[in-house]
Structure formats: C-alpha cells, structure tokens
Amino acid sequence: MDTVSHVKNSRRRIVATLAGVAGTIALAGCAQNAPQDTFVPKGDNAQKIDTLQKVVFPIAGLVGVLVVALAIYIFIKFRDKGQDIPAQSHGKPTVEIILTIVPALILTVVGVFTFRTIMDLAKTTDTQMVINVTGQQWWWEYDYPAQTDQGITQPIITSGQLVIPVGTNVLLRETSRDVIHSYWIPALNGKKDAVPGRIHLLRLQADKPGIYAGQCTEFCGLSHANMRMEAIALSKEDFAKWVAGQQKGYTSPDEGTKAKEGETVFINQCSRCHQVNGIKDANGKAIISAPDENVYAGAAPNLSHLMSRTTFAGAMFDLVNQKCRDDVWKAKSDEFGAKYLTGVTTDCLNQKNLRAWLRNAPAMKPMYSDPTKLAKTGGKYRGMPNLGLSEDDIDKVVAYLSTLK
Amino acid sequence: MFTPGSKYFVGLTGLALVSAVLYTFLVHPSDLGAFALYGLFLNAAVIAGFSFFTRDGDVATAEEAVEANTEATAPSFWPIVFAFGAAVTLLGLATNQIVFVLGIGALVGGGLEWTMQNWSDRASSDPAFNKFVRHRAVGALDYPGLAGVGLAVIAFLFSRVMLTVSKEEAPLIFIVVAAAVLVIGVLLATKPAMRSKSVVIIVAGTLVLGAAGVVSGISGERTELKVVAEEQPYTVAHRECGAEASAHYDNKANNMVALKSGVAATITVKDGKISAQLIGIPKAMDTITIPRSVATVVLFRNLDSTEHRLVANLGEAKVGTTDVMEKVGTCTQLTGKGQEQAMTVQVPKPSFANGPYSFTVPGVTGEIKLVVP
Ligand SMILES: [Cu+2]
C-alpha cells in the first residue's frame, strides 16, 4: 500500500471514529427512560433555569460554531503554501471596536437574564415549608421541623426519598455530616452543595405528583455513584396522609410471632445504629440508638417507617419488586399518590434485595465497613457492616422490618 | 568535562538517590518522605542533565570553565540575607507567625538570589556576559515577584480601609477608587504625554493609600459584629454555666466567614424578650430544629443594655458511672449591648430521648425550644 492511500485510510478511520462518538452522544440525548434529564423541567425553579437555558444555549452555540468555522476557514485558506509573507499591519480600530462592542452586548444580554434567574432562585421570602437535608456517606437524611400551617405537628425524620406537597415552595436547608455532597433533582432545580459546617438553601417546587430522581453530584468517596435520592411529590391531601403515617406511634409485634423474634434480633444487632422511634427493651425502657458511637458520620437511617419508602440505602435499591415498582413509577399523576402511599405491602416487598442487604450490605454497596480497617475513623464505620446474621435471623428481621409501616 | 554547576547537581542527584533508597528500606516505602526524596532525585537529575547539556551556560571547554572559576567574583550580600532569614525563621518559630513568614521570605529570596549570582558569576570568563545572563535569568523572577509583593501590600492596605469604614461607605469608596484606577489606566494608555504626570498621580495615590491603610489599621475594624464581652467573675446568676472556662476567648472567631455562613439560627434578646430567626425562614420562630450529630452554629445577639449570655440546655446525663444525674449544656460568655457571640451545639441524642432541650437567657423570660428528631 502506498503512503497516500495509507494516509487516506487512517484519515477515514479518524472521521469514522469521530462520527461514531458524535452519533452516540446525539443518540444518548434521545434516551427514552432518562428520569434525570435536565431539559425536562417539572417545577417552577427548574422551569426558570430552562427558560434561561433556551436563550443562552442558542446564542452561545451560534457564537461557538461561528468562531470554529471561521478559524477552520482561515487555517485552510491561509495555510503555508510557500507564498510570501503578506504585508503586516497593526490594528484596525473599526474592527477592534466592533469586536469589543458586539461580545460586550451579547454578554450584557446574557448577564441580565442570568442574574435575574440567579436572584429568583435565591429567593426565600416566599417559602411555605422547610426541610432540613443532611448528606453523609452515602445517603441523604431529611427531617421536617414541626410546621403546623403545613399540618406537621411533630417533627418527621426519613431518608432517601424526600416527600413534598405539590405546588408548594419548599426550602431545603442543606448541610453535611462528613464530606461535601451535592443535592440535585434535575427536574426540580439545579444543584446545591451540602457542605459540613454550612447551611445552604435550595428551593424545590413540583407542579404535579410523581417521582423525580436525583443523584449526589459532588464526588464524595467510595459509593458516590450509589448515592441517589428521589423527590416524591404528592397532592396536598395525599401529603397530609403521608404526614399522618409518619407520625403514627410504634406498635410492637404480637408476642409469639416471627416479627416479635425479629424485634429482639433488631434490638441486639441493629439498634446501636438505627433508631426506631418508640421501640422499648424488655424492661419497658426506650431504646435510643448511638450512631454517634458507631458510624463515622454520626447517623444511620431512621427505620421507624422504613416500609413507607419504596427504595433504600441511598435510594439505590428497590424495596419493592419490579411489578410494584413499575406500578408506582408509571402511574398517571392523579393515581400516583394512592399508589405510593400504599407503601411496601407483603406482596410487593423485594425480598431478594432486602435479604441481600441484611446478609452482606457492603457486597451490595461498597462501604468502608471492614472492622479490621477502621483505625483512621477511630473504629467507626462508614456505611453498614456485614453483621454475619444467620439465615434464620434474617427471616426474623425481615418479618420485623415489614411491620415498620 | 563537568563544570561546577553540573558537578553540584550530579552530586545532589546521587545524594538524593542514596537517601531515597535508604529511606525506603529503613523508614517507610510509601511515606511522604520517600516521595519527597525521589522527587528531589528526579528534579536534581533533570537540572543536572540541563546544566551538563548546556555546559553550565555555554562554557565552551573545560579549560574555560576553570578560568571562569578562578576569576575573582564581586562580594555578595546575599549570604548575609540568607543567614538573616534563617535566624528570623527560627525566631518566628518561637514568637509569631508573621515573623516566621518574613523569615521564610528572606530565606527563600536570599537563597534564590545567592544561587543565581553564584551561577552567573561563573557562567563564563566574561564579566559583561555574566552580568547579562544573570539579569536575564533573575529579571524573569524579580519583576513578577516584586510586583506580587507590591500588589499584596496594596491589597492589604486597601482591605484595612474597607474593614474600617462603615458598610455604607465601603461600596462608594470602592466604586470611586475603581473608577479612578480605570481613568488613570486609560489616560496612561491613550495619552503618552500624560505618562510623567501619571507617575506623580500614582505615587501620590499610593502614598494616600498607605497613609489611609496605616491609620485604618491602627484605628481598628468597624465594630458592628465585634465581641468585646467583659469577663465577669463567677456569680450565682450564672450558675448554670459554672465558672468561665477561660479568662480569654478568641473574639476573632466570630468574624470568620466560615462561621457566618454556617449560622443555622440567630437568637436575639431585645426589650427583655428572646426570639429566634432561622436562616431561610422569614418569620421569627420559637423552635429550632436541627439534625442529630451535626455541629450547628447559633449566633447570640444581645440588643439590651444589660449583659446577657445564651445557655443551651441539653438535658441530663449520668455523672460518670454513678446514678446521679447532672444537667448538660453549654453557654456563651457574657455579651454586652449590641454584641454577638457564636455557640456551636452538637447533639448526638434525639430530644425525645433526653430532652426537652432549649435555649434560655438567664434573667430573660421565655425560651427557644431546641428539637432534635
Ligand atoms: Cu455524596
């Protein structure tokens, strides 16, 4: 093969590769099942970003294409063909002034709209509900301060799934217990970092009932990729039902049941990290968990109403089986609330996932939980350790956890 | 073949390699120290390579190098600066951070200049050429370095002024100064005839800034958020906090930006009443809800003329291994009128277990409930 065709060949290969990459990117943009798509706003705040984006992206895109096209044109047109060096001139005021004023004007227009959006997104005066959001490796905790005007008479604490009423300006007060995380529900608003020692505010508002998926977007260690979250928007009536469910007191399983045996296992194995509000020991004394002594972040998910959420461990795994999951995710927005509020019924419970988690949590989700390697954190776990439960104990614990509605 | 520069770096390369290997085997293979020594080895090797390759700045032959080295060099005061820097650095270790930083500056600056001079003096046997290469090499470091120091001094002095003037004046001053800088810059660029006058203006401006900076520095920062609470002897009224833990406290801590941005709530005493304002929530609150096991900063602001302190009541706990219960809590120090203090609370147990928790101010009725879910 001669050199020329060789060059042609490799050139063709490069072009083919580039086309392939570009094609993949373009096709990825058309993904059907993409719940974290940034360009599909489902609430006021995300809508504002989208409106801005629709102005800025075309302008920026046009400028970008123009500059690149011009540059390529010049590279080719004036390439070195052995011609003489043309006459050199210095400066051309008209061109320079135009080239200064035009970008300045474009930037001013973009700037005005951008600033307005930023200001709108930073507003807190129209807040109707506040929720404290606390990130830690690798899950999110939500606690709702008592707000009687929103029907929340007692504080609520939950994790993974953030439940909000539709059409309500919710303000998240974000912080972190260990490293920097970032809260992002693309359909509802932009990202906001959760930084230890600081409180950052993020507005959320959803127009319609539904599940809006999100993802921690600040690299936060081993299981960063497994640190997800979901915002669940419910109609106001359904939200009130959810609140009532979260404020229900504790009922210990009946004597002699498997679940009761499970409660004992739970008290022995799990209560040092996980709080179940209202759980009592054999002497009738309230059991208070001590995650501060066992977990590096000082917290583990509160399991009082575990079965009211459909995912667990950083919204990473389904607590319901595929059929029930589809039922909830694909529900029409007016039927969604009722379906979500059903919670995890016995038929829906994803036995496989929950059992796998109890059998060996770090095998499902990478965590720093090898007890022999905890010197750096003073013996505290980052994540949930493998507790070496027997299959019999797992049966009992699953039976018990199923009662935590 | 080897000229003194290459010899020096070849020697350093060998020494670094030997130390690195010894360190690896005797101390720790993956320690920071090992990385540093291997880094030194690589760097020295590269420099040795360069100086070998360039024959220490174009010394054509070894004989010429010898000649260059026998040439008497001018006396240098850089070793003195270097030694002075070393002494000041040591002094700084024992006394004050600023002294230490100045010492390090003199040490590094003196060392660099000394090295460069030493190298350039022996670059060739032609003193004029030596001077030229020295100028070319050092100029590239000197001017940006001096400009950096100049800018830092200006920024520092200006920041003193900005911290002293009131919140309202500060933006005005900023705008005026920025506009003046822009105008002078434009004049300098467009009207070459202005150049000599501009120098006068710049010198005058710098002098004015210097004077303003010194005056502001001495008169101190504006007081709006300063804490100057008086130390009080232990009295019955403040029994819930016991004796003050320390006669001193860091009143600068409250000026830290990090602390300001991390404030979860501000508790204010005004007209004998206590109220709380939570970040992000427009209306006043009587309850603060904070997550468990999170260090949370609460700012206490006293707007009454009597001194007050904020007390966090965090339930009770057993004393040691006994069954005796004791109140748990923490307090700010006494805070005078118009002053603020920050308090950090971190509560590992929920309030339903150990509570109720609250914030109170002795001598003021009412309380702010603290809820930990
Ligand atoms: Cu994260």
Across the A/B interface, how many CB contacts are shorter than 8 Å? 79
Per-residue exposure over B255-281, b if at least 16 CB sit within 10 Å of its own CB, e if not: eeeebeebbbbbbbbeeeebebbbbbb
Q: Which amino acid is at A104?
A: A
Taking an 8 Å cut-off on Cβ atoms, the answer to whether B291 and A175 are in contact is yes
**CA separation for the pair B338, B101 (Å, rounded):** 36
**Mutation for testing the A interface, residue in B278, B283, B293, B343 having most A CBs under 10 Å:** B293
Distance from CA of A137 to the nearest CA of B (A): 14
DSSP readout, A66-122? HHHHHHHHHHHHT--SSPPPPPP----HHHHHHHHHHHHHHHHHHHHHHHHHHHHHH
Q: Which residues of A touch B258 (CB under 8 A)?
A: 197-198
Contact status of B116 with chain A (Cβ, < 8 Å): no
Nearest residue of A to residue B262, measured between CA atoms: A198
End-to-end CA distance of chain A: 74
Domain end point (choices B45, B68, B91): B68
**Mutation for testing the A interface, residue in B281, B287, B296, B357 having most A CBs under 10 Å:** B281
Higher pLDDT, A273 or B60: A273
**CA separation for the pair A243, A261 (Å, rounded):** 29
The rounded Å distance from CA A135 to ligand 1 centre is: 7
Cβ-contact B296, B321 below 8 angstroms: no
**CA separation for the pair B356, A216 (Å, rounded):** 34
Residue A1: per-residue pLDDT: 43
The rounded Å distance from CA B350 to ligand 1 centre is: 24
The rounded Å distance from CA A387 to ligand 1 centre is: 24
Residue B140: per-residue pLDDT: 75
Q: Which residues of B touch A297 (CB under 8 A)?
A: 293
H or E segment at A245? helix A236-246
* Mean predicted confidence (pLDDT) in A279-301: 92
Contact status of B356 with chain A (Cβ, < 8 Å): no
Q: How confident is the model at residue A100 (pLDDT cuts 50, 70, 90)?
A: confident
Across-strand partners of A147?
A152
**CA separation for the pair B200, B206 (Å, rounded):** 10
Higher pLDDT, B79 or B61: B79
* Mean predicted confidence (pLDDT) in A314-318: 94
E strand residue ranges, A313-389? 317-318
Length of chain B measured in residues: 373
* Mean predicted confidence (pLDDT) in A329-336: 90
Q: Is a pLDDT exceeding 50 seen at residue B238?
A: no
Q: Is a pLDDT exceeding 90 seen at residue B289?
A: yes
How many domains does chain B fold into?
Answer: 2
B60 belongs to a structural domain: yes
Residue B242: per-residue pLDDT: 57
Q: How confident is the model at residue B315 (pLDDT cuts 50, 70, 90)?
A: confident
B274 belongs to a structural domain: yes
B164 belongs to a structural domain: no
The rounded Å distance from CA A217 to ligand 1 centre is: 7
Cβ-contact B116, B2 below 8 angstroms: no
Contact status of A174 with chain B (Cβ, < 8 Å): no
Contact status of B42 with chain A (Cβ, < 8 Å): no
Contact status of A355 with chain B (Cβ, < 8 Å): no
**CA separation for the pair B89, A105 (Å, rounded):** 53
Taking an 8 Å cut-off on Cβ atoms, the answer to whether B281 and A201 are in contact is no
ipTM of the shown complex: 0.83
**Protein residues placing their CB within 5 Å of the ion ligand 1:** A 181, 216, 220, 227
* Helix locations, B220-350, DSSP H: 257-261
In the numeric block, the tokens 């001094």 are attached to B153
In this structure, what is the dihedral angle of CA atoms A367, A368, A372, A374, given to the nearest 10 degrees? -160
Class of residue B166 by CB neighbours under 10 A (exposed 0-12, middle 13-18, buried 19+): exposed
Taking an 8 Å cut-off on Cβ atoms, the answer to whether B258 and A291 are in contact is no
Measured over the CA atoms of residue A334, residue A336, residue A340 and residue A342, the dihedral's sign is positive
Residue B226: per-residue pLDDT: 44
The rounded Å distance from CA A226 to ligand 1 centre is: 9
* Mean predicted confidence (pLDDT) in A67-87: 89
pTM of full prediction above 0.80? no
B189 belongs to a structural domain: no
Most confident of A48-57, B162-171, B213-222: A48-57
Return the structure tokens found at A158: 């939950």
Residue B34: per-residue pLDDT: 85
Average pLDDT of chain A is 90
The rounded Å distance from CA A180 to ligand 1 centre is: 7
Of the listed ranges A294-303, B5-14, B238-247, the least confidently predicted one is B238-247
Residue B223: per-residue pLDDT: 60
B159 belongs to a structural domain: no
Most confident of A71-85, B213-227, B247-261: A71-85
Cβ-contact B287, A145 below 8 angstroms: yes
Of B291, B350, B353, the CB nearest to A132: B291
The rounded Å distance from CA A310 to ligand 1 centre is: 20
B204 belongs to a structural domain: no
**CA separation for the pair A137, A179 (Å, rounded):** 8
Taking an 8 Å cut-off on Cβ atoms, the answer to whether B289 and A197 are in contact is no
Q: What three-state secondary structure class fits A249? A: coil
Q: Is a pLDDT exceeding 50 seen at residue A98?
A: yes
- Backbone φ, ψ for residue B276 (5° rounding): -130, 140
Average pLDDT of chain B is 80
**Mutation for testing the A interface, residue in B257, B278, B289 having most A CBs under 10 Å:** B289
Q: Is a pLDDT exceeding 90 seen at residue B117?
A: no
Give the B window 251-280 contacts with A, CB below 8 Å.
258, 261-264, 278-280
**CA separation for the pair B368, B355 (Å, rounded):** 13
Residue B224: per-residue pLDDT: 53
B226 belongs to a structural domain: no
The rounded Å distance from CA A194 to ligand 1 centre is: 9
Distance from CA of A261 to the nearest CA of B (A): 24
Residue B225: per-residue pLDDT: 46
Q: How confident is the model at residue A28 (pLDDT cuts 50, 70, 90)?
A: low
Residue A117 to residues A19, A48, A170, A203, A261: CA-CA distances in angstroms? 36, 6, 18, 13, 56
Domain end point (choices B33, B50, B68): B68
Residue A381: per-residue pLDDT: 93
Q: Which residues of A touch B277 (CB under 8 A)?
A: none
Contacts of A69 (CB under 8 A, 6+ apart): none
Q: What percent of chain A has pLDDT over 70?
A: 94
* Mean predicted confidence (pLDDT) in A275-304: 93
Residue B338 structural domain:
254-371
All domains of chain A in start order, with CATH? 33-122 (1.10.287.90), 127-405 (2.60.40.420)
Taking an 8 Å cut-off on Cβ atoms, the answer to whether B295 and A291 are in contact is no
B219 belongs to a structural domain: no
Q: What three-state secondary structure class fits B246? A: coil
Model confidence over A154-183: pLDDT tens digits? Answer: 999 999 999 999 999 999 999 999 999 999
Cβ-contact A183, A192 below 8 angstroms: yes
